[in-house]
A and B are shown apart, each in its own frame.
Chain A
Amino acid sequence: MSAIMQQAVPAGTAARGAIRIEDVVKIYDPGGAAVMAVDHCSLDIKAGEICMIVGPSGCGKTTLLNAIAGFHDITSGRILLDGELLCGADKPKAEPGSDRIVVFQNGALFPWKTNLDNVAFGPIMQGKLRPAEAKEKALSMMADAGLSGVEHNYPGEISSGMRRRVEIVRALMNDPKVLLLDEPYRALDSLTKSVMHEALLEIYYKNKVTIFFITHDLEEAIFLGHKVAIMTTRPCKPKKILEVDIPHPRDYSVLTSRRFRELIEETNEAVHEEALKAFAAGEKEG
C-alpha cells in the first residue's frame, strides 16, 4: 500500500506546487476597526521555486501566508494552486490541507509527542499509512536528515535548531506541494542559522517542493531564494520582485561572491525605505 502511494507521487519531480495570488485583499474586522493588512496583492510563484517574502514588521506577511494555508478568509481576490482554486469569491476561506504545510514562526511541534510521533502524525491522521508503517518511514526520513538519536526524545529536550529540522521533516512526510515557512529561523543564533540554511537547501534539492518563505533578513532571502518579493509596509503588496540570478545549487561561498553583494545593494534601499515608512506609521499610531 505504501509502496504504491510513493510511486504514484514520485518525489523529486517538480511541476506541481505553482501558486498564483491574484489581487488579494484582506481586511481584518471590516465592520469595526477595518485594518487593511493586504492590499490588491498579486504574486506568481512557479512550481518548485523558492520564493522569499521580505517586509517590515507587521506589514501583513503572515496574513498572506495564513490565507494560502487556509487559516482565515480573504476579503477579495483569489488564490490558485496548480490552477485549482484555493479561495476566491465564492469560497473566501481555503481548506487547510496536507498539500500546503506551514512551519510556524515559533515552532509547533507537539510537545506532548515524541519527535518520532510528531513526524509520523500526518500520514496516520490522514489514514494514508498504518501507524507502524508511518513510524518506519518517519525513522528513515529522520535518519536521512541527520536526526538519528533524537527520535524518542520529546521536542523540549532537543536544541531549537534540531526542532526546526524535525518540523520540516514532519512536513515533508506528507509529500506536500508547498512548504510555507514563517520566519522559521528568527530565534536562532547566526551560526546555527547558517547551518540550517544549508540543511534546508539540501532538503530542497532532494524534494523540490515549492517554498514560500517569510523573513526579515535580506541576506537570508537572497541566499536562499530564486525570487525575492519585497513587500510594502501595511497594507502589504509586492513593491519590488527580484529574480536572483545566482545558480542553484548554492552553498556558503555565495555569501562572499560579488553578485550576491550587488544584489544586496540593489535591494537594500527598497527594504530600508519601507522599514522607515513602517517606523513613521508606528510613530503616528503609537
Chain B
Amino acid sequence: MLEILKKTMPFQVVSDTMLRRIAELGKRVAYDKAAIIYDAGDSAGDIYIILSGKVEHTLEPGVNARRPVQLLGAGDVFGWAALLEKFPHRLAKAVAIEPAEIVRINGDDLLRLLESDPDSGDVVMSRFATMITRDYTVPDLIAQMRAIHRKLHSSDIQGMNLTMYRLSLWLKSPRPYLMLIGFGLFLSFWYLAVEVWKLPRFREMPGLTVVIKEWLNPDPSYGLSIYTAEYYQHILVSIWRVTQAFVLASLLGVPLGLFLGWSRKFKEYVFPVFETLRPIPILAWVPLAIVMFISTESAVIYLTFLASFFATALNTMLGVESIDESYVRAAYCLGAKRHQVFRHIIIPGALPFIFTGLQISIGVSWFSLVAAEMVSGQYGLGYVINTSYTMVRYPTIVIGMITLGFVGYVTSAMVRILGDYLMQWRVRELALGGQ
C-alpha cells in the first residue's frame, strides 16, 4: 500500500513517516464488478485510492469539467470532494467496472493528521487542488481545498503572544537546560578554584559563598546587600542614566542612519566625519566631556550616549542599504512618490537592522555607563565597583558586577520584545518557519 501511496499525485512528496501514518488511517475495501462506490449527491466522507482494478468516475454536468468521464486505475485518487471547502456532497458517480481493491481514508481524519505537520499538509492540499483542476479538469472555483489549520494560527500571534510563544518554544527545547548546566559549571569552578583548591591568583578573589552571604545579608559587613535601600538606589540611578542616553541615542541615531542610507549626497558630507569620530574610545572623551558639561550628571549621560548613538546610526544605515532594490523599484512602479517610498519601504525595510542596532546600542550603553561612572559620579553601579575597589570591599565589587550583568540582560531583552512587537511580519515568518 505504501508503494502505491507514494506514487499518487497528492502524496508523492510526503515524507515516509508521514506516509506511514496516512496509510494507517486507510481501510482496504473490495468492490465487485459494477458496484456503485458512491453517487452524486451522497455526503462525502472518505477519499479513495485504487490499489487494483478499474473505476469509472463521472462528474455531474453542473461541475463544468472539460472531461467529465475518467477511467481510473491503480494509483489514482478519487473521492476528493471529502476535502473540498465548499462542497460537502459528492459531485460525481464512481462505479467499479472491474473488481477493485480500494483504500478508503476518512477526510476529517486525514485533515487532522495533516495538521500535525502543516507544512507537508499544505503541499498535499495544493497537490490535490492541482490534481482536481488538471487531471479531473474541474474549474478552479470548485477546487478550493479545506484549510490545514495550524496549531499556531498566524493571526493568533500578536503582540505579547508572540513573545510568550517563543518562550514556550524555548522552554520545550534543550537550550534552557544546557544553559543551566553552563551556569552550574561556571559557579562550581568559581567555588572550587577560590575556596576549595585555593589556586594561585584565585586565592585573593572573593569566593562564591562569601559573595552570596554578603549579598543576602540583612546586615552586610561592607554596607551593600539586597536588604539595603542604597543597593536599589544605585541600580535605579544607573538605569535612569542608561534610559536617558539610550532614548537620546535612538532619537538621534535612527533618523541620522536613515538619511545616511537614503541620500547619497548626505552620506558624502557626513559619513567621513562620522567614521572618524566613531572609533574614538569613550575614555578618551572623558576630559572633553567634563569641560563641555558643567554638571557631572550630563557628562556621564553624554559619555553613555556616544557609543550607543554610533552603533544605532551605523546599523540603521546598513539596514537601509540592505533593502532589496526591487522593493524600491516596485513602489515607484506602483506610483509611490519619493516621500512615500521613504515612509512605506525604507523605514519598515530597515527595521530589522534598526533593532539589531538598538540591541547593540543598549549593550554598549551599559558598557560606557560603567566607564563614565567610574570616572565621575556619586551613584550607580559603576561607582559602586570603583569605590569598593579603593575601599577594599572585594565582595561588593562582585555584587556590583553580577547586578550589572543581570540588569543589562533584562534591558536588552526588553528591546528585543519591543522589536518583536513592531515587526509582526518578521516574527510570523520565523515562527512558521519553526525557528
| Stretch from B48-56, B203-211, B293-301, B340-348 at the A interface | B340-348
Answer yes or no: A31 CB below 8 A from chain B CBs. Answer: no
Given contacts A108-B326, A125-B340, A194-B134, contact A159 B122 (CB under 8 A): yes
| Distance of A277 Cα from B324 Cα, bound (Å) | 32
The answer to whether B133 and A195 have CB atoms under 8 Å apart is: yes
Q: How far is the CB of A282 from chain B (nearest CB, A)?
A: 25
| Stretch from A83-91, A145-153, A216-224, A262-270 at the B interface | A145-153
Answer yes or no: A252 CB below 8 A from chain B CBs. Answer: yes
Least CB separation from B433: chain A residue: A156
Answer yes or no: A77 CB below 8 A from chain B CBs. Answer: no
B425 / chain A contacts, CB cutoff of 8 Å:
111-114, 154, 156
Answer yes or no: B154 CB below 8 A from chain A CBs. Answer: yes
CB within 8 A of B337: which of A108, A125, A199? A125
Given contacts A69-B329, A157-B154, contact A112 B348 (CB under 8 A): yes
Least CB separation from A96: chain B residue: B332
The answer to whether B326 and A157 have CB atoms under 8 Å apart is: no
Report which residue of A156, A192, A202 has the largest number of chain B beta carbons within 10 angstroms of its beta carbon.
A156
Main secondary structure of the interface of A (DSSP, over half): loop
Count class of interface residues, chain B: 35 or more
The answer to whether B333 and A110 have CB atoms under 8 Å apart is: no
B133 / chain A contacts, CB cutoff of 8 Å:
195, 198
Answer yes or no: A102 CB below 8 A from chain B CBs. Answer: yes
Within 8 A of A (CB), among B248-271: none
15 contacts between A and B (CB under 8 A): A96-B333, A98-B334, A110-B327, A110-B331, A113-B344, A125-B331, A148-B144, A152-B155, A156-B425, A156-B432, A159-B122, A174-B335, A191-B130, A195-B130, A198-B133
- Chain B residues at the A interface, C-beta cutoff of 8 Å: 66, 122, 126-127, 129-130, 133-134, 140-141, 144, 147, 154-155, 324, 326-327, 329-337, 340, 344-345, 348-349, 351, 423-426, 428-429, 432
- Chain A residues at the B interface, C-beta cutoff of 8 Å: 69-71, 96-98, 100-102, 104-108, 110-114, 121-122, 125-126, 146, 148-149, 152-154, 156-157, 159, 161, 170, 174, 191-192, 194-195, 198-199, 202, 251-252
Those 5 A-B pairs whose CB atoms lie nearest each other, nearest first:
A156-B429, A122-B334, A126-B335, A108-B326, A108-B330
Known pairs A104-B329, A153-B154, A251-B66. 16 more at Cβ < 8 A? A71-B329, A98-B334, A105-B326, A106-B324, A106-B326, A110-B349, A121-B331, A125-B334, A154-B154, A154-B428, A156-B426, A159-B126, A191-B127, A191-B130, A192-B126, A195-B134
